[in-house]
Amino acid sequence: MFRSWPGDNQQMARESSSLDPERETAEPKTAPRSRMDALRAKTDVLRTKVEAFEKSAAGRFWDQLSTTDFMNSSFAFAALAVLCAFPFLAVSSAAFGGDLRKVIVARMGLDVNATRAVNSLISTGNHAVETLTWVSALILVLGGIGMASTLQSWYSRIYDQPPPKGLIRHAAYQLAGITAFTLYISGEIWLFDRVRPLGGDGLIFLITFVLAVLFWWLAAYMLLYRQVSLRRLLPAGVATGACITGLGIVSRLVFSGEITNGQKSYGPAGVVIALTSFLVGFGVCLHLGAVFGRMWNDWQADRATRAT
């Protein structure tokens, strides 16, 4: 009987919505709740992936590596190498007719421009040998002992081996390590010069790997005061040799440009920064090899335990 006008329908809809506040408030809450649920689901997935990574071999390796504080230790190693190892190697190389600059160029695989930058930064060391006094010689030896002591603390911490007592015994092991490292570097450079015309870079990298495995295998044995057997330290030697060889390949591809650009941008300081970066990488390689060797031994022990 009665006709309803369009305006009346709109008025009735407004009145019904005003009389039902729950309906008005329930509809806009749906979208935020769904976004929160989606965010919570993504967080759960991420947490699950993180927990799975922590339980994996890579996660345990990273956790063990982080426990050793490898980055800060590597930076400290690089600074100590610049302050102690470089002067010691410069004087010892010059005393036997060698040249520290040649050692750096050969180990880093630098090109002509980078070699020129290194030669302009470092002298041959002949003048240092001629003016060497017993006080400066003692300081150089103490610097080398400091490097050996740093490496001993690394390996002792990674392998949970407390150093034995006895100051004389420590000094004897450290002096032996300094002598062995000097002979290792000198012999490696001498061998590089002989074989480079025969096999090029491929043979150089192969020799680098073999010599690095042998030296750091025996060095780990001596740094741990022969408390860990050579058989258990072989994986650490192989891993360290592989990391150092990889660093040599990266250095040949990257560091020549870094040294050249650093000299153009900052002068001699840029060359020092590039050399320090290489030394930081070298310290990281030592940590990687030692931690891998420790984890390999633990994995073998776990397999033996399960088998029995």
**Closest alpha carbon to 86 in 187, 207, 181:** 181
What does pTM read for this prediction? 0.79
At residue 98, does pLDDT exceed 90? no
CA distance 170 to 147: 13
**Closest alpha carbon to 278 in 131, 38, 109, 41:** 109
Half-sphere exposure of 100 (CA within 13 A, CB side): 22
User: Worst-scoring range by mean pLDDT, 7-11, 103-107, 245-249?
Assistant: 7-11
Query: Tokens 């740094």 correspond to what residue?
Result: 223
pLDDT at res. 293: 93
At residue 194, does pLDDT exceed 90? no
pLDDT at res. 96: 66
Token couple for 148: 């050996």
**Which of 76-85, 188-197, 211-220, 259-268 shows the highest mean pLDDT?**
211-220
**Which of 6-20, 145-159, 180-194, 285-299 shows the highest mean pLDDT?**
285-299
Token couple for 274: 């590039």
DSSP reduced 3-state for 258: helix
At residue 19, does pLDDT exceed 60? no
Q: How far is CA 48 from CA 53, 60, 248, in A?
A: 9, 16, 38
CA distance 308 to 217: 30
CB 278 within 8 A of CB 108: yes
Place 182 in a pLDDT band, splitting at 50, 70 and 90: confident
pLDDT at res. 233: 94
CB 267 within 8 A of CB 53: no
**Closest alpha carbon to 88 in 121, 131, 129:** 129
pLDDT at res. 279: 92
Please, what is the Cα angle at 138 between 135 and 139, to 5 degrees? 90
Residue 81's identity, in one-letter code, is: A
pLDDT at res. 4: 46
Query: Tokens 């036997």 correspond to what residue?
Result: 96
Q: What percent of the chain has pLDDT over 90?
A: 25
What are 49-64's pLDDT values in tens digits? Answer: 777 766 777 778 888 8
Q: How far apart are the first and last CA of the chain?
A: 96
**Closest alpha carbon to 178 in 150, 155, 154, 147:** 147
CA distance 245 to 163: 30
Please state, rounded to an integer, the average pLDDT across all residues of the chain: 81
Phi, psi of 96 (to 5 degrees): -105, 20
Domain ranges of the chain: 71-307
**Closest alpha carbon to 286 in 253, 260, 247:** 247
List of residues 6+ apart from 69 with CB closer than 8 A: none
Mean pLDDT (whole number) for 31-53: 72
Query: Tokens 């192989």 correspond to what residue?
Result: 238
Token couple for 50: 């993180």
pLDDT at res. 172: 86
pLDDT at res. 150: 87
At residue 17, does pLDDT exceed 70? no
CB 150 within 8 A of CB 76: yes
